[in-house]
Amino acid sequence: MLASITAVLCACPARAELTWNFPAPATPLALDTLQVHNKFMVITMAIFVAVFAVMIYSIVTHRKSRDFKASRFTGPSTAVQIFWTAVPFLILIFIDFILMGIPAYHSVLVMQDTRGDADMVVKITASQWKWQYEYPSEGIRFVSALATPQAQIDNREAKGEHYLLEVDNPLVLPVGKKVRFLLTSTDVIHTWWVPQFGTKRDAIPGFIRETWARIERPGIYRGQCAELCGKGHGFMPVVVQAVSEAEYRQWLVRKKAAQAAVAVGAAQVWSRDELMKHGRKIYETLCVVCHQADGRGIPNVFPALAGSKVVNGPFLDGKGRLVKDGHLDRVMNGKPNTAMQAFKDTLNDSDIAAVVTFERNAFGNKMDDQVQPAQVKVLR
């Protein structure tokens, strides 16, 4: 028994880096809330020590073995009674309102301060189980999904340093700028949370909520969805890369060029191999959480794509229109009121064409056909 406890204790520090304090604040707001926390800890510790000191002193000095005789007075004067009621009352007012209330109120005000003086706006859309980031004034939009390989999740490979806290496309932000975040969701409630920013806001379907951050130091900041949002809840991390203003400008240029390249790619005819290769990548980042790596889904929850009638059925009718509830329709428009969301707005033409082609020719499906990006484009 003792040996096993010792073994567990000794193994712990080797497994995870143990830290006892909060992560270093990266925004003024996070610093503010940390200071409130620390101040409150000092106050509660002082109260704890004072109350226990009196209690322990009384227990020790007035104990029976010392033959202590209790005093037997009754009914002290009204003045004394008012006095010993009023004094604790005043102490409480002082501690609660002055020492704790004012700093807490200040923090909450700062937290809510999303007035129009922000330098830039980022729109965050949550969906099961990934984040979409949009820079409205730059015309940039992309999906940020978990990048941890499935093999690590399945314990077939050793877990990496940032296990479940890594994404394919991090949110890139400039330091020193007030960034206003607008949050919403397409399905259930999610929460966008980066501990080092001191911000945590629910993304609620049908509502736009807001929060903000002014990141002070460049670096990579990691967080998670903090609202239990279904099976993939633990698989939708938030990664923010804070860079200098100049690097941010360069990133914008690169990102725009990449988007333009995607548009060019969508105008070309892709080979089957290209479609399959790209389709596998999309499938592994976005669909695998539900339909599983082998395409067999989870019985009664997520349908199998292997052997599915939809996947192994037509996707366009004779006139080149979408077959209702066909393969392409299901992927582009989803199925209302189920976990199968519409991918039309999250994926570009090439992504949709590739992932559909992949599904039709993987997991034992042998449709031997393909979808071209240009076909998806006209169906939008």
Residues making contact with Cu ion (CB under 5 A): 190, 225, 229
> Closest approach of Cβ 338 to ligand HEC, in Å?
4
Residue 339 touches which of Cu ion, ligand HEC, none (CB < 5 to 8 A by kind)? ligand HEC
- Apex 138 CA angle, 137 and 144, nearest 5: 110
Check: CB of residue 279 under 8 Å from CB of residue 360.
no
Residue 190 touches which of Cu ion, ligand HEC, none (CB < 5 to 8 A by kind)? Cu ion
Q: Would you say 146 or 287 has its CB closer to ligand HEC?
A: 287
Q: What separation, in Å, do the N-terminal and C-terminal C-alpha atoms of the chain show?
A: 65
Check: CB of residue 21 under 8 Å from CB of residue 37.
no
Q: Would you say 179 or 347 has its CB closer to ligand HEC?
A: 347
The three-class DSSP label of residue 212 is strand
> Closest approach of Cβ 233 to Cu ion, in Å?
5
> Closest approach of Cβ 207 to Cu ion, in Å?
15
Q: Would you say 238 or 305 has its CB closer to ligand HEC?
A: 305
Residue 229 touches which of ligand HEC, Cu ion, none (CB < 5 to 8 A by kind)? Cu ion
Q: Would you say 26 or 146 has its CB closer to ligand HEC?
A: 146
Q: Is 8 exposed, middle or buried (0-12, 13-18, 19+ CB in 10 A)?
A: exposed
> Closest approach of Cβ 203 to Cu ion, in Å?
8
Q: Would you say 183 or 306 has its CB closer to ligand HEC?
A: 306
Please tell me the number of Cα atoms within 13 Å of 268 on its side-chain side. 11
- C-alpha distances (whole Å) from 332 to each of 16, 62, 269, 374, 377 are 42, 79, 20, 14, 11
Check: CB of residue 202 under 8 Å from CB of residue 190.
yes
Residue 291 touches which of ligand HEC, Cu ion, none (CB < 5 to 8 A by kind)? ligand HEC
> Closest approach of Cβ 287 to ligand HEC, in Å?
3
Residue 272 touches which of Cu ion, ligand HEC, none (CB < 5 to 8 A by kind)? none
Check: CB of residue 291 under 8 Å from CB of residue 305.
yes
Residue 225 touches which of Cu ion, ligand HEC, none (CB < 5 to 8 A by kind)? Cu ion
Residue 198 touches which of Cu ion, ligand HEC, none (CB < 5 to 8 A by kind)? none
Check: CB of residue 331 under 8 Å from CB of residue 323.
no
Q: Would you say 30 or 355 has its CB closer to ligand HEC?
A: 355
Q: Which residues contact 247 (CB under 8 A, 6 or more apart)?
A: 174
DSSP classification of residue 21 = S
Which spans of this chain sit near ligand HEC (rule: CB under 6 A)?
128, 286-287, 289-291, 302-303, 305, 308-311, 327, 330-331, 335, 338-340, 343, 355, 359
d(CA 314, CA 166): 37
Q: Would you say 153 or 225 has its CB closer to Cu ion?
A: 225
> Closest approach of Cβ 12 to ligand HEC, in Å?
35
Write the single-letter amino acid at 237.
P
> Closest approach of Cβ 327 to ligand HEC, in Å?
5
